[in-house]
Structure 1
Amino acid sequence: MKTNVADALYAGCEAVVKIAWLNGLWLLFTLAGGIVFGWAPSTAAMFAVIRKWLMGQKDVPVFATFLGAYKKEFLKVNVIGLTFMALLFVLAANYHYFSASADWLSFMITSCTLMAGLIYMVALMYVFPLYVHYELPLLKYLSQAVLFGVMRPLTTACMLLGSGFVLYVLYTLPGLIPFYGPSLFGLVLMFFAYRGFVKTEAQHHQAP
Structure 2
Amino acid sequence: MALRLYAAADEVYWAVKLSLLWTIGTLAGGVVLGVGPATLAAYTIARRHAAGETGSSFVRAYRVEFRRGSAVVLPIAAAMTLLVINYHWLTDRAAKNTTLAALALLAVIAAHLLPMAVHYDLRTPALLPKASLFALLRLPASVLLLFTAVAIGYAVIAYPVLLVVAVGGWIQLNTWLCLRLFAENEALRNARGIT
TM-score > 0.5 by shorter chain: yes
Match of 2:176 in 1: 191
Match of 1:73 in 2: 65
Counterpart amino acid of residue 77 in structure 1? G
Q: CA, structure 1 residues 115+167, in 2 after alignment: closer, same or farther (shift >3 Å)? A: closer
TM-score where L is the length of structure 1: 0.80
Q: CA, structure 1 residues 203+6, in 2 after alignment: closer, same or farther (shift >3 Å)? A: same
Q: What are the within-5 Å matches in structure 2 for residues 114-133 of structure 1?
A: 114-133=100-119
d(CA) in 1 for partners of 2:92 and 2:156?
A: 35
Larger relative contact order (C-alpha < 8 A, sep ≥ 6)?
2
Q: What are the within-5 Å matches in structure 2 for residues 1-12 of structure 1?
A: 5-12=1-8
Asked whether the equivalents of residues 26 and 46 of structure 1 are also in contact (C-alpha less than 8 Å), the reply is: yes
1:56 positional shift = 2.6
2:156 is matched with which residue: 166, 170, 173? 170
Counterpart amino acid of residue 199 in structure 1? E
Asked whether the equivalents of residues 15 and 168 of structure 2 are also in contact (C-alpha less than 8 Å), the reply is: yes
- Which 10-residue stretch deviates more, 179-188 or 193-202? 179-188
2:21 is matched with which residue: 25, 36, 50? 25
Asked whether the equivalents of residues 26 and 42 of structure 1 are also in contact (C-alpha less than 8 Å), the reply is: yes
1:82 is matched with which residue: 70, 74, 80? 74
1:202 positional shift = 0.3
Counterpart amino acid of residue 73 in structure 1? E
Q: CA, structure 1 residues 198+31, in 2 after alignment: closer, same or farther (shift >3 Å)? A: same
1:40 positional shift = 1.6
Asked whether the equivalents of residues 159 and 188 of structure 1 are also in contact (C-alpha less than 8 Å), the reply is: no
d(CA) in 1 for partners of 2:98 and 2:5?
A: 50
Q: Any idea what SS the aligned residue of 1:122 has?
A: helix
d(CA) in 1 for partners of 2:105 and 2:187?
A: 26
Match of 1:206 in 2: 191
Coordinate RMSD, CA, aligned:
2.5
Q: What are the within-5 Å matches in structure 2 for residues 34-183 of structure 1?
A: 34-57=30-53, 60-62=54-56, 64=57, 66-91=58-83, 99-100=90-91, 113-177=99-163, 179-183=164-168
Q: CA, structure 1 residues 100+176, in 2 after alignment: closer, same or farther (shift >3 Å)? A: closer
Q: Any idea what SS the aligned residue of 2:123 has?
A: coil
Q: Give the aligned length.
A: 193
1:79 positional shift = 0.9
Asked whether the equivalents of residues 130 and 141 of structure 1 are also in contact (C-alpha less than 8 Å), the reply is: yes
TM-score where L is the length of structure 2: 0.85
1:206 positional shift = 0.5
Asked whether the equivalents of residues 158 and 192 of structure 1 are also in contact (C-alpha less than 8 Å), the reply is: no
Asked whether the equivalents of residues 44 and 132 of structure 1 are also in contact (C-alpha less than 8 Å), the reply is: yes
Structure number with bigger Rg: 1
d(CA) in 2 for partners of 1:131 and 1:148?
A: 13
Q: Any idea what SS the aligned residue of 1:67 has?
A: helix
Q: Any idea what SS the aligned residue of 2:124 has?
A: coil
